[in-house]
């Protein structure tokens, strides 16, 4: 954390403060000695992430990825702890932040929707850093529109047979297992998708096609060809996959804003007026202006992490922001609006950076070309 004083706010408790000190100490004392980022070749980057996961697991930092019953930090999955971890790591190493975030993203579906036997089989290994997790949702023709995915899951006796292609899969080729989303056909659209835990070494799983991107991290296309998955690897009930995917992503969206915080505060890109406008309920008549300003509030420290420029009274008013957002944009009109606010500004900033490359080269504009 750039200013440990913000940890004194009632937004955080003693467990948050202890964990923040623990991860900051590791980032300053241990991380520099791991040699991360010295070689950006795909093999070296995969080795870096494997080393980071093992190191953070050994240091107990991955406890943030699971509930206490499975070796985790707190009783449940705690977004505030995740934000603290991601902001702190991102200040030192984007790849370290990636490694922790993917452990969380790839295990959260099990934490939130898994059966007890599934949790006990996977979560302790994720926390220890002995299993690397991955989340396989996107497809070549179904990125933002996840409900349009075409990978299939067909019942085959006591098992399921999975076929299809997933792409832009973080930790692809490195993961120990993937949480895969496929169309099982109970109903059309989003209600006909199911989620499965698929071992990386299962027959029919191929993650050998790597994708090299501008910011190096393990990324691959995942091909499933007649991949048989035991029935007990189904997460939740058939047809609940879309709900599982969206619930997992909601839990991690606030953390995306923290990555911008890690670099933006140093550049003093803090919209204090925007923060004060929101916490004092000074809502403009134009809803788009409001959304933009809330996004800039997130840019200054999603849900309070960088709000040390506010007075105590203003900070306490921040606790009611979700209530206000719900009044301006009712949930039934824009479901999931609140967790989407935090990464709004980071995504807009990233879009500005990527637009020229994407305009010229299409969806390959974020990838690298080797000479």
Which of 81, 109, 132 lies at the terminal end of a domain, its last residue? 132
213 with 198, same domain?
yes
96 with 123, same domain?
yes
Domain assignment of residue 257, yes or no? no
Which of 84, 113, 132 lies at the terminal end of a domain, its last residue? 132
Q: Beta-carbon neighbour count of residue 333 at 10 Å?
A: 8
Q: What is the CATH number of the domain that holds 54?
A: 1.10.540.10
Domain boundaries, position 127: 4-132
Domain assignment of residue 261, yes or no? no
Domain assignment of residue 93, yes or no? yes
37 with 123, same domain?
yes
Which of 243, 258, 290 lies at the terminal end of a domain, its last residue? 243
For the stretch 100-146, pLDDT in tens is: 999 999 999 999 999 999 999 999 999 999 999 999 999 998 877 88
Inter-axis angle of helices 241-264 and 344-361, nearest 10? 100
CA 337 to chain centre: 17
Hey, what's the torsion of the CAs at 66, 308, 322, 286, to 10 degrees?
A: -140
35 with 93, same domain?
yes
CA atoms within 13 A on the CB side of 241: 33
Q: Beta-carbon neighbour count of residue 54 at 10 Å?
A: 17
| Tally of domains within the chain | 3
Residue given tokens 């000190």 in the structure block:
21
Contacts of 113 (CB under 8 A, 6+ apart): 195, 235, 236, 240, 244, 247
Domain assignment of residue 19, yes or no? yes
93 with 201, same domain?
no
- pTM of this prediction? 0.75
Pair 67, 75: CB distance under 8 Å: yes
123 with 14, same domain?
yes
114 with 18, same domain?
yes
Angle of CA points 212, 213, 217, to nearest 5°: 80
User: Which of the four pLDDT bands, split at 50, 70 and 90, describes residue 183?
Assistant: very high
Which of 29-33, 144-148, 290-294, 345-349 bottoms out in mean pLDDT, i.e. has the lowest?
290-294
177 with 122, same domain?
no
For the stretch 232-266, pLDDT in tens is: 999 999 999 999 999 998 877 665 544 444 444 33
């Amino acid at each position: 954390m750039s200013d440990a004083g913000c940890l004194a706010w009632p937004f955080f408790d003693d467990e948050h403060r202890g964990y923040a000190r623990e991860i900051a100490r590791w980032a300053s004392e241990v991380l520099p000695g791991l040699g991360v980022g010295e070689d950006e070749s795909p093999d070296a980057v995969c080795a870096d992430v494997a080393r980071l996961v093992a190191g953070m697991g050994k240091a107990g930092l991955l406890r943030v990825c699971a509930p206490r019953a499975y070796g985790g930090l707190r009783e449940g999955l705690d977004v505030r702890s995740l934000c603290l971890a991601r902001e702190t790591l991102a200040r030192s190493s984007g790849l370290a932040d990636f490694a922790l975030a993917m452990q969380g993203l790839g295990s959260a579906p099990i934490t939130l929707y898994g059966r007890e036997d599934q949790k006990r089989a996977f979560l302790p290994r994720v926390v220890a850093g002995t299993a690397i997790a991955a989340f396989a949702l996107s497809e070549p023709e179904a990125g933002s529109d996840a409900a349009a995915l075409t990978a299939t899951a067909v019942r085959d006796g006591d098992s399921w047979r999975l076929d299809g292609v997933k792409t832009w899969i973080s930790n692809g080729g490195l993961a120990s297992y993937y949480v895969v989303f496929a169309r099982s056909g109970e109903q059309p659209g989003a209600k006909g998708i199911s989620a499965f835990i698929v071992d990386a070494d299962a027959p029919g799983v191929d993650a050998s096609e790597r994708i090299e991107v501008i910011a190096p991290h393990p990324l691959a296309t995942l091909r499933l060809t007649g991949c048989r998955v035991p029935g007990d690897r189904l997460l939740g009930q058939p047809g609940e996959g879309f709900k599982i995917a969206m619930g997992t992503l909601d839990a991690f969206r606030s953390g995306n804003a923290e990555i911008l915080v890690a670099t933006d505060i140093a550049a003093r890109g803090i919209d204090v007026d925007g923060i004060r406008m929101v916490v004092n309920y000074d809502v403009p008549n134009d809803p788009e202006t409001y959304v933009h300003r809330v996004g800039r509030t997130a840019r200054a420290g999603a849900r309070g992490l960088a709000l040390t420029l506010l007075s105590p009274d203003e900070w306490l008013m921040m606790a009611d922001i979700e209530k206000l957002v719900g009044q301006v944009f009712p949930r039934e009109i824009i479901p999931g609006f609140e967790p989407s606010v935090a990464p709004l500004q980071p995504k807009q900033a990233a879009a500005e950076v990527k637009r020229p490359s994407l305009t010229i080269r299409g969806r390959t504009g974020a990838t690298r070309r080797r000479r």
